[in-house]
Amino acid sequence: MTASESNGGKQIDAVVKTLDILEALWQAEGAGVTELTERTGLAKSTVHAHLSTLRSKGYVVQEGDEYRLSLRFLSFGEYVKHAEPLYAASDEPITKLSEEVGERVFCSTHQNGLGTVINVSGRSQSFTSNIDIGTHTYHHISAGGKAMLAHFSDDRVDQVIDKWGLPAFTDKTITDREVLFDELEAVRNDGVAHSRGEYLPGISSIGAPILGNDGTVYGAVTVGGPEHRLENEQKENDLCNRLLSTANTIEVNIMFS
């Protein structure tokens, strides 16, 4: 077993390889040794050895020549989800909002400079996307992410940008630091954030921050849907009021949880 230096200190190389294989299996939704070798850049013998260990511990299952993550990860996911205060605090409020506006509603939090969807409510026919519980997102591409960034300190926002950059997902994505800071100031003034086709073409979202009395940024609640529905000015104003009310309800729930 060897250790190497990373930005956060020493790391165990064997553990890094195991995690790389697990992430590759998750992204591929199952794969064989050859595909995992190509995805991870590891030697085939190394991949096989790690898979054998993971299988013996019950973390992967083998079906013919293909390996998949086992159901054992369900217990981890359920524990993490329910251990996050936002999950319980947001469940009823976002369900109610989704029923009122007829769109999908997301509750997100932040960790390690990225946003993570912690709860989702709404009709799947509202629009099709790959966003679900556990989805990690860059803050600058989403309304919820920008709502959170707007209440971080400038230094913290700089740290997020330095770590993750401002990659473009569409031609509408903000990729300039100064432009992003200008928009975050507008978010603070308006109370809500917008993403107009910045992550997925044709999809808009409106987000409001979920804050503690001391300014702690717990997360954000977001309504997402097709541009032609959310961009209607009259409906958008109504959505903003409903969204802010929902965020406030979640804040109260957290306070008394």
Could you tell me which of 132, 139, 87, 127 has the C-alpha nearest to residue 254? 87
Q: CA angle, corner 112, sides to 106 and 115, nearest 5?
A: 15
The CA–CA distances, whole Å, from 92 to 106, 143, 190, 254 equal 12, 21, 25, 13
**Residues 203, 129 share a domain:** yes
**Residues 119, 28 share a domain:** no
**Residues 49, 148 share a domain:** no
Per-residue pLDDT of the chain (257 residues; tens, 9 = 90+): 444 555 555 778 889 999 899 888 888 888 899 999 999 999 999 999 999 999 999 999 999 999 998 888 877 877 777 777 898 999 999 999 999 888 899 999 998 899 999 999 876 545 556 677 778 899 999 999 999 999 999 999 999 999 999 999 999 999 999 999 999 999 999 999 999 999 989 889 999 999 999 999 999 999 998 888 887 755 667 889 999 999 999 999 998 87
**Residues 135, 233 share a domain:** yes
Q: Where are the beta strands (DSSP E) in 46-146?
A: 60-63, 66-69, 104-111, 114-121, 136-137
Tell me the CATH number at 15.
1.10.10.10
User: What pLDDT score does 11 carry?
Assistant: 76
Structure tokens at 38: 């190509």
**Residues 100, 51 share a domain:** no
Q: Show the domain range for 200.
A: 77-255
User: What pLDDT score does 12 carry?
Assistant: 85
CA distance 241 to 218: 20
Structure tokens at 65: 């020549």
| 24 Cβ contact list (under 8 Å, min separation 6) | 31, 36, 39, 40
**Residues 234, 117 share a domain:** yes
Domain boundary among 46, 70, 94: 70
Tell me the CATH number at 140.
3.30.450.40
Cα of 85 vs its chain's centroid, Å: 16
User: What pLDDT score does 95 carry?
Assistant: 94
User: What pLDDT score does 2 carry?
Assistant: 46
Residue 199's SS3 state is coil
**Residues 53, 167 share a domain:** no
Domain boundary among 14, 49, 70: 70
- List 63's β-bridge partners, or say none: 66
**Residues 50, 30 share a domain:** yes
Structure tokens at 12: 């165990």
Q: 208: left (phi > 0), else alpha (psi -120 to 50), else beta?
A: beta
User: What pLDDT score does 74 carry?
Assistant: 78
Beta carbons of 26 and 38 less than 8 angstroms apart: no
**Residues 211, 157 share a domain:** yes
Please give the tally of structural domains in the chain: 2
In 232-248, which positions are buried (b, 16+ CB within 10 angstroms) versus exposed (e)?
A: eeeebeebbebbbebbe
**Residues 251, 138 share a domain:** yes
What is the dihedral angle through the alpha carbons of 126, 205, 115, 87, rounded to the nearest 10 degrees? -60
Could you tell me how many residues make up the chain?
A: 257
pTM across the whole model: 0.78
- What are the two backbone dihedrals, phi and then psi, of residue 127, each rounded to the nearest 5 degrees? -165, 160
Domain boundary among 70, 87, 116: 70
**Residues 87, 27 share a domain:** no
- List 60's β-bridge partners, or say none: 69
**Residues 189, 112 share a domain:** yes
User: What pLDDT score does 3 carry?
Assistant: 45
